[in-house]
Structure 1
Amino acid sequence: MLSRGRSAVRRIVVRAAVLAVGAGLVVVPAPHAAPAAAQALRWAPCGDPAQPGAECAALSVPVDWARPDGPRLDLAVARRKAADPEARVGSLVFGPGGPGDSGVETVVRRAHRFSPEVRRRFDVVSFDPRGVGGSNPVTCSRELLAARPSPVLKSQADFDATTAYNSRLRADCRARTGPVFDHLDSAQTVRDLDALRAALGERKLTFHGSSYGTLLGAQYAETHPRRVRAMVLESVLDHSVPTTREFLRSQAVAAQDSFREFVKWCEGAAACALHDRDVRAVWQGLLARAGRGELADPTKPGTALSPADLVNKIAFRKFYGADHAGLATTIATMDASVPLPASPTSVAPLPPATPVFCSDWRLPVRDHREYASLVAAMEATAPDLPYLLPVHMVAACLGAPTANPQHRLDARGVPPVLLTNALHDPATGHPWAVSVARQLGRSGVLLTYEGHGHGSATSGPCMEAAVNRYLTDLAPPPRGTRCPAVPPP
C-alpha cells in the first residue's frame, strides 16, 4: 500500500538534499566498475524537528543504467545510525513495498517497524526508489488520474476505451515526469541499490525487503550473488508466475483465505461485533448496497462507496494489519448506517507509481472475452471479494510495455537468504514464499509465521529472535521453522 504523508517527506528530502549538494554529491561507479570507486554520501539532518536523529542525503545515479554517462537523477536516501555504536554490525538497507512506498518515510517516521535489536546493531538505511517520493516521482494529471475507467469492462468497446485511456495517461505521465518514466523497472533499481551499497562503504549488502521490496532483493541476489552478506525477504512476491491467469488466481486465493479466516475468527470470538450473526450475509448485503450507490464511505461522509473500494479500501487494508476486530466493528457500523440515495459511484485513482508495476509484470490480455474470463475465474476463487486490486492493476497495464518481465530466479552463489511469510497473508500468499525458497535452492530458508497479516519479521518474539540472529550472526533458523501466531491484544 502507498504510504501517507509523501509530500511532507519530500519536503524533508529536498531540504536535506540541498545541504548534501552543497557538500558534494556521491559519485557512483559505472555498472561494471569496482565498488571501491564510490565516494561517501554526504549526510545532513532531515529537517523534521518532530523526528530527530534521522539523516538524509542524495545519491546521483544514471536515469538509464545502459547509458551510465547519460542523464542522471537524485535518489532520496535516509538513515538512522545504530543506537549502540560499539556493537554496530554495519548498514541494513530496507527495500520498501508498494510499489510506491517511501523508504525515506519509513526511516524518518516509522523506524519502529524494525526490532530494537536491529536498531541497536545497524545503521538503518532506506531510499525512495526511482519514480517515488523524493526520487523524481512519477507525476501525472490529477484530472486524468481521476478519470480512470472502472475495471468492470462490459464489452470490447470498454476494453478498447481502457487501453486507449492507458495510452493517454502514459503519455501525460511521461511528459510530466521526464526521461526516468521509461526506466522505472526493478532491474534498474537493482543497479541503484548496488550504488547505494557502495556509497555506504559496505563491501557486501545487508538487506531487508518487504512486499514489493522482495522483488528488488531477489533480483539483486540474482544479479550480484557474491555481494550479499544477509538478506531478509518479508512477505514474498513470486516474480516467476508466468501468466495473467495464474497471477490473478494466486492473488485471489490469498485474499479469500484471509476473508475465510476473518469469518472463522468472528464465529469463535465473543469480542467480534458480528458475533452470532451470518458474517457473509452481512458482508454481501454491504456489497449489494455499494453496487446500488447507497453505501456511505466511512472516510468521506456523504460519498457513496463503490464495491471495489469496499473490498480494497476497507476489508483488504484491515487484513494487512490482521485487524479482525477493527474490520468487524467497521462492517457492523456500516451495516447499521442509513442508506444514501442511490447514486453512481467511481473507483479510487490508482497510485502514480503504477507504471513501476507495469514495467515489472507482463500480464497480457488479448480482448474483452479473455478479460471477462479472467475476472470470472478470479471471482469464483474469491467470491466474497469482487474486483480485488490485482484486477485493477491488470486493467491499468493493458497496452503498457514491460522492461523486466517475470522469470525464474537463478541466484547461484548467494549465501543463505531468509524468507519470512505469514501463513495467512492477504497479498503475498504463503505459496509464493514456498516457490521463491525453492527457486533459491540451498540458499532459500523459509521461516513461517502461523498467523495473519502482511509483514511478519517482527510478529512476536519467535519471529523477531530468528530474524535478529540471522542478521547479526548470519545464523538462519533450521529449515522448516514455524513460529506460533501471536494472539491479538
Structure 2
Amino acid sequence: MLKARPALRRTVIWSTGAAALITAGAVVAPSFGDAAPQANVTAVAATSVQWSPCKPDTPEWAAWKGSECATLRLPIDWARPDGPKFDFAIARRKADPATRTGTLVFGPGGPGDSGVERVGTGLARFSAEVRSRFDIVSFDPRGVGRSSPITCSPELVAERPAPEMKSQADFEATVAYNERLRDDCREKTKPAGIFDHVDSGQTVRDLEAIRIALGEKKLTFHGSSYGTLLGAQYAETYPRNLRALVLESVMDRGVPTTRAFVKDGAAAGQDLFNEFVEWCADKGNTDCALRGRDVRAVWTTLLAKAERGELATPARLAGKLGPRLTANDLVNMVAFRSFYQANFKVLSADIVEMETREASGPPAKLSPVPPAWPVFCGDWRLPARNYREYASLVRTMNKTAPDMPYLLPARLVTSCLGGPTANPQHRLKPAARTAPPVLLVNSMHDPATPHKWAASVERQFGRKSVLLTYDGRGHGSSNDTRCMESAVDAYLTDLKLPARGTHCPAA
C-alpha cells in the first residue's frame, strides 16, 4: 500500500521527474563489472509479488482506482546481493482476462519520472488493444519517488552556483560545490548506501528482478526517453530473456565524447527552433501570434531583456518560475519545454505576452535541482578538465544552436563535474545483436533525443531491428497517429515489425 510522504522541513526529496535535467552535482558509485551473476538475481527475486490495491492517502489520486501496488526488497548493490536491501516500488494495471497475452513492463523517462504514478493515473500512452492484452507494470527507479528518493538539504540546494561559468575560479567553485552536495545527499538519502548505487547498471538488475518475480519467461519492455537507455542495457546484459523491446525517443549511449554530446543536443534544440520559425512563416497559419514578424529578431530582444533581469515570466508559468525569467529559464523552461509537445501556438503567445508585460517582483532565482541527477551522472562520463575546456564546449554549443544559448547539454556537463561515473556510456556490446529484433521509434524533429541517435542505435542492434520514424515534431511519438500506434501495437502483440525505413506522416 502506498502512503503519501509527510513534508519534511529540512530536506528536499525529489520524487517525480523533470523532462529537462537542469542539475547540480555528481554521483560517486563503484562499478561492479558487466553483470551480477544471473543466479544472484534469480535467488533475490524468487518470491512471488504480493499485490494489493494502490491506496495513496491524498484525494487527488482518486484516479488510481483499479491499479495495484507492491514492493520488492532488492539489494542496494547488486555486486553484494546478500547485502543491505531497499524497497523497490512497482505498480500494475491488469489486462482483460479474456484477451490477456502477458505482461508489458514500461520503463519511465527523465531520469526521475515515476512509473508507479504513470500506472496509477491510467497509462493513456498505450492503446486500448495493448491495455486489453497486457498487464502493464512499471516502477519507480531507485533514487526516485517511492524507491528511496534522493534527499538533500534545501539550504545547500539553494546555494547552487550560477550555471554560466566565466572563469577558472567559477569552475573550481562549481567542482567544490558538487562535492559538498554529493556528500550532503549521500548522508540524507536513506537507506545508507543507496545514493551511490542509483545508476542504470544497477537498475537493469532491478528490471531483471521484476521479470523473475512476475514469473515471466521472457520480458516485453517499452522504454520511453531515458527508459530507452535502460532497455538497451537490458538487451546487452540479458539478450536471451527478451520477448520484445520498444525504444521510444531513443538515447544513444554510443556518443563517445563530451563535445559530441553537447553538439548533438544543441543541434536538436536548434532544429526545433527552426521548425518553430518555419511554422510561424506559413502564410496559411493563423495560430502563430507572431505571424508576419521577424521571429528571430523578437526572440533575440527577449533574450537580451532576460540577461538584464528585465523579462517578465508568462502568467501561466509564474507560479513555477517566479515573476522574472533568467535567460537560462527562457531557453530551457519556456521554449525548450514547449518543443516536447511541439506546442508552438502556446510558445508564440508566450513570446507576445513577454514582449509587453512589465517585469515586477524580486529577481528570478535559479531553477531548483530536479530529481535523480545522480542517475544521469552515474550513466554519462562527460568530462571537462578546466574552465578553458568548458568554455570551448559552450562555444561549440552556441555555434551549433545560435538561437538557443544556455541550452541544457552544457548544464549537464556542469552538473557532473568532479565525480567518476559508475556506468559510463559505450556502444552496444555484441551481445545486443543476439536479442530478438527491436523496434525503435523516433520523431524526425525531437528536441531531446535527435533522430540521428535512433539511427545510430538501430545500426548497433543490427539488421534485424527496425527504426520507425514519425515525420513530425516532438518528444515521444509511439501513439501520435494511427499509423504509429498500429505499427507499435502489431509489434507488441504479434511481434510483427514494420519494414526497415518505414516512415509515418506528420499529423
TM-score by length of 1: 0.91
1:211 alignment counterpart: 225
Q: In 2 relative to 1, CA 34–266 (structure 1 residues): closer, same or farther, beyond 3 Å? A: closer
Return the match for 1:387 from 385, 401, 406: 406
1:41 alignment counterpart: 49
Which residue identity lines up with residue 493 of structure 2 in the other structure?
T
1:146-180 Cα deviation digits (max 9, x unpaired): 22111111100000000000000000000001311
1:324 aligns with 2:344: yes
1:420 alignment counterpart: 441
1:32 alignment counterpart: 39
1:293-344 Cα deviation digits (max 9, x unpaired): 1112232276221001111111111100111111111111111212448x75
1:430 alignment counterpart: 451
Q: Which runs of 5+ in 1 are unaligned?
A: 1-6, 12-28
Return the match for 1:120 from 127, 132, 154: 132
Alpha-carbon separation, structure 2, partners of 1:278 and 1:167: 45
1:55 aligns with 2:73: no
1:151 alignment counterpart: 163
Q: Which runs of 5+ in 2 are unaligned?
A: 7-35, 56-60
1:195 is paired with a residue whose SS is: helix
Alpha-carbon separation, structure 2, partners of 1:194 and 1:277: 54
1:233 aligns with 2:247: yes
1:272 aligns with 2:272: no
Could you tell me whether the CA contact under 8 Å between 2:324 and 2:359 is conserved in 1?
A: no
Worse overlay, 394-403 or 344-353: 344-353
1:153 is paired with a residue whose SS is: coil
Which residue identity lines up with residue 132 of structure 1 in the other structure?
V
1:75 is paired with a residue whose SS is: strand
How much does 1:394 deviate? 0.8
1:3 alignment counterpart: none
Alpha-carbon separation, structure 1, partners of 2:476 and 2:261: 20
1:269-298 Cα deviation digits (max 9, x unpaired): 222111111111111111111111111223
2:434 is paired with a residue whose SS is: coil
Return the match for 1:333 from 346, 353, 361: 353
Could you tell me whether the CA contact under 8 Å between 2:111 and 2:371 is conserved in 1?
A: no
2:246 is paired with a residue whose SS is: strand
How much does 1:51 deviate? 2.3
Worse overlay, 160-169 or 177-186: 177-186
1:304 is paired with a residue whose SS is: coil
2:266 alignment counterpart: 252
Return the match for 1:65 from 58, 78, 84: 78
Worse overlay, 252-261 or 332-341: 332-341
1:356-406 Cα deviation digits (max 9, x unpaired): 100000000010001111001101111111111221111010001200001
TM-score by length of 2: 0.88
Which residue identity lines up with residue 355 of structure 2 in the other structure?
D
Which residue identity lines up with residue 184 of structure 1 in the other structure?
V
Alpha-carbon separation, structure 1, partners of 2:118 and 2:469: 24
2:425 alignment counterpart: 406
Report the number of matched residues.
Answer: 461
1:412 is paired with a residue whose SS is: helix
1:159 is paired with a residue whose SS is: helix
Which residue identity lines up with residue 456 of structure 1 in the other structure?
S
Alpha-carbon separation, structure 1, partners of 2:165 and 2:201: 32
1:111 is paired with a residue whose SS is: coil
How much does 1:50 deviate? 3.3
1:371 alignment counterpart: 390
Alpha-carbon separation, structure 2, partners of 1:282 and 1:340: 21
1:215 is paired with a residue whose SS is: helix
Could you tell me whether the CA contact under 8 Å between 1:9 and 1:133 is conserved in 2?
A: no
How much does 1:350 deviate? 2.1
Alpha-carbon separation, structure 1, partners of 2:268 and 2:291: 24
1:161 aligns with 2:177: no
1:88 aligns with 2:100: yes
1:476 aligns with 2:488: no
Alpha-carbon separation, structure 2, partners of 1:110 and 1:53: 9
How much does 1:59 deviate? 1.0
Could you tell me whether the CA contact under 8 Å between 2:312 and 2:360 is conserved in 1?
A: yes
2:433 is paired with a residue whose SS is: coil
Which residue identity lines up with residue 365 of structure 1 in the other structure?
A
2:152 is paired with a residue whose SS is: coil
Question: Which structure would you say has the larger RCO, counting Cα contacts within 8 Å and 6 or more residues apart?
Answer: 2
1:350 alignment counterpart: 369
Q: In 2 relative to 1, CA 88–9 (structure 1 residues): closer, same or farther, beyond 3 Å? A: farther
Could you tell me whether the CA contact under 8 Å between 1:9 and 1:134 is conserved in 2?
A: no
1:61 is paired with a residue whose SS is: strand
2:28 alignment counterpart: none
Which residue identity lines up with residue 101 of structure 1 in the other structure?
D
Percent of residue pairs bearing the same amino acid type: 62
2:311 alignment counterpart: 295
1:219-246 Cα deviation digits (max 9, x unpaired): 0000000100001000000001111000
Could you tell me whether the CA contact under 8 Å between 1:418 and 1:444 is conserved in 2?
A: yes
Which residue identity lines up with residue 54 of structure 1 in the other structure?
S
